[in-house]
Every structure is written in C-alpha cells, then in structure tokens.
Amino acid sequence: MTTAATTPAISFTHIDPSGPVPAPAIGWEEYFRTTPPPDFLEPAGKRVEEFVALHAKAGRRVVLVTSGGTTVPLEQNTVRFIDNFSAGTRGATSAEYFIEAGYAVIFMHRQFSLQPYSRHYSHSRNCFLDYMQEDGHGGLIVDRKYSDHMREVLLKYQRAKREHLLIMETFVTVQDYLFLLRRFTTAMSILRENAMYYLAAAVSDFFIPQSKMAQHKIQSAEGALVLQLDQVPKIISPLVDTWAAKGFIVSFKLETDPDLLIQKSRRSLERYKHQLVIGNILTTRKKVVTFVTTKEETKLELTDEELRNGVEIEERIIPELIRRHDKWIIQTKSQ
Ligand code: 9Z3
C-alpha cells in the first residue's frame, strides 16, 4: 500500500443531500490503473492457472464459486472497516454439490467464512471436541452418534482432495475481490463454454478509493465521523464482455424488499447481458430463490417440512444450473 495519506473521505450523501456531490463512479479500467494489487495476487493466480490447465486437459467443466462478504477498509493501516453480510453458506454448500456432479471448483471466498465440507462442523453450536470420545485404549474416536454423517462428509472430502477437484483462495477486502476475480476469470477463459461463473459473494457496492483513504487510524478528537463512499466499478461488465469469453455466467441479486427483487434482477441482466440472475431475499434465502432470465422466471422453493428435514436449497439449484449449462454448451458450440 503506497498511496500517500489524505483527509478521510467525508459525507454520506444518501442521508445528507445538501452535502458534497459524490464523485461519479470510476470505470473498471481506471480502477485497476489507480489501485495497487494485493501482494498475494500473483501466487494465487498461478495456482489457479495450474488448476485450470489440469482440468482443461481432462475436458472437465470448471466452476468459479465466489462466496462470503467483502470488507471496505476505512484506513490504509486498517483498524476499522465496513463489512457486507454473508456467512458463506450458499457458496460453500453449492461447491459441494458442483463437485458431486463432476465439476472442478475454484472456491474464492472471504477468509474465515464457511468452506465446503468443514462447514458441517465449523459453525455448529458444538465445539469440535464435542464430536470426540476416548476409545478406552488411550486414543480418540468420533462419537458414535455423529460418525455416520461424518463418514459421509469425510468420503466426499477425500474424493475431492484425491482428484484435485477443489482449490480454495481467499479475499478480505473488496479490492482483493476485484483483483482476484479479474485474474481468475482471465485464467479460466481457455475453458470457454466449459466454464461456469457462480457469483454468490456479497460484494460491497460502495468503497473508499485508495487515493481518498486515510493512511493511519482516523482520530476521534475532531468529533463525529461522516463517511462518503464512492461506487465500486461494475465488474460484471468486463467479465461478460472480455474476461470470461463464452462462459456461463450466473450472478446473485440480494434484496430485502420483495417488491424490488424481480425488476432489479431483470435490470442487471439487461445491463450486463449475462445468462442468469438468481434473486433471493435476505430472510428467506435458504427456502426460496428465483431464476430470472430475459425470457422467464422460475421459482425454486423448499417446503417447511423439507427445511426441517435438512434439505438444502442448493440441492435443487445446482442440478437446475447444470441443465442450463448443458444447453448453453450445445448452443454456443453450434454458433
Ligand atoms: C447472494 O445473494 C447470496 O445468495 C447470499 C448468500 C449472500 C444472500 P450466505 O452467504 O448468503 O449463504 O449467508 N449473493 C449476492 C449478493 C450481492 O452482492 N449481489 C449484488 C447485488 O445484489 C450483485 S453481484 O447487487
């Protein structure tokens, strides 16, 4: 991080219309020109390139799953940041179903958010020690009441590892996310229509550009802090037009107001011209999602009983997506 310190960005114009006029959103080219890349970008990019080459050779489909929320740092030496909601359940669960269906998965996730396979245990109310027991001979075993389920998860996890079907890379800030997304999608472009992009991460719409960010911890001596955030460049645009040539692109739209969901999903499709938006409402996201294309809407919904029995909506989302990806491949190849 090299940019010089400036006064922290101030004024939140949604609340204070009489405040300073916000800067127009910068384009993605300017964003990448003026923002230093994270120092882990290249090693991560190389690992993903190798992963893609391995699966391209095997003729296997590869899906990039983004998962978890991005942070927006307020200071270059970051003490405070704004966070985006997301536990990473959608992404981690979907990754497992993709692998089961034969895809290789690039799991690009927020550090410490849920991960495939370990998700079954990591955010449980149990401490990991609760799953264990002494075996009476000085060793440890898994408590009998958990072992059937744990064996099932373990076997799936071991297969994913043995067959190199999963690579995991992490981001924290929205800046990390944007750089990784460009690097990974560009690396995947050799897969053409065999690639799917499943953008489930909750990405901040607003941020403080490097040039306007305080270098050191913002001091409280001057009283209240008012923030002005710029708009994050719309990254789906170059993703669709350039980076992910011919890939099948699925984005998620998150709303809290059900009246806005379908129209906002449609607008996103019209704007970026990708293949599918999956709309979901914060409070019902585990029970119902709506697939929106320019031609139709399809609702996938679990019953209360299914939810109680532990059915996961991703179990329905992924097969439906694969069906659409199959069609996309046939259609794109015949063009
Ligand atoms: C989603 O809508 C995801 O389904 C959730 C999953 C974040 C709701 P959890 O991780 O939640 O299982 O707890 N992701 C996309 C959110 C987003 O930022 N979408 C942007 C938008 O709505 C467009 S890319 O404008």
**303 pLDDT more than 80:** yes
- Give the pLDDT score at 76: 95
- Give the pLDDT score at 124: 79
Which of the residue ranges 25-29, 259-263, 308-312 would you say has the lowest mean pLDDT? Answer: 25-29
**For 273-287, what is each residue's pLDDT tens digit?**
999 999 999 999 999
CA 215 to CA 277: how far, in whole Å?
38
- Give the pLDDT score at 214: 94
Q: Looking at ligand 1, which atom is closest to the CA of residue 205?
A: 25
Q: How far apart are the CA of 58 and the centre of ligand 1, in A?
A: 32
Q: How far apart are the CA of 215 and the centre of ligand 1, in A?
A: 30
- Give the pLDDT score at 335: 82
Query: Which residue of 86, 204, 237 sits with most ligand 1 atoms within 8 Å of its CB, as the best mutation to test the pocket?
Result: 86
**For 120-135, what is each residue's pLDDT tens digit?**
998 778 899 999 999 9
User: Which protein residue's CA is at the shortest distance from atom 6 of ligand 1?
Assistant: 90
Whole-Å CA distances, 173 to 72, 78, 154, 170, 209: 6, 11, 31, 10, 12
- Give the pLDDT score at 334: 87
Whether the complex's predicted ipTM surpasses the cut of 0.85: yes
- Give the pLDDT score at 23: 61
Is the dihedral angle over the CA atoms 279, 284, 289, 290 positive or is it negative?
Answer: negative
Secondary structure letter of residue 136 according to DSSP: S
Q: Is the CB of 202 under 6 A from ligand 1?
A: yes
- Give the pLDDT score at 7: 46
**For 36-84, what is each residue's pLDDT tens digit?**
999 999 999 999 999 999 999 999 999 999 999 999 999 999 999 999 9
Report the mean per-residue pLDDT for the chain: 93
* Domains recognised in the chain with CATH numbers: 1-122+166-246 (3.40.50.10300), 249-335 (3.40.50.10300)
**For 175-189, what is each residue's pLDDT tens digit?**
999 999 999 999 999
- Give the pLDDT score at 279: 98
| Residue 219 CB neighbours (<10 A) | 9
**For 218-245, what is each residue's pLDDT tens digit?**
999 889 999 999 999 999 999 999 999 8
- Give the pLDDT score at 5: 42
- Give the pLDDT score at 104: 98
- Give the pLDDT score at 11: 45
Question: Mean per-residue pLDDT for 257-266?
Answer: 97
Q: Is the CB of 247 under 6 A from ligand 1?
A: no
Q: Looking at ligand 1, which atom is closest to the CA of residue 67?
A: 10
| Residue 238 CB neighbours (<10 A) | 20
CA 118 to CA 98: how far, in whole Å?
16
Q: Is the CB of 89 under 6 A from ligand 1?
A: yes
Confidence of residue 254 (pLDDT cuts 50, 70, 90): very high
Confidence of residue 2 (pLDDT cuts 50, 70, 90): very low
- 175 residue type, one letter: Q
Burial of 14 (0-12, 13-18, 19+ CB in 10 A): exposed
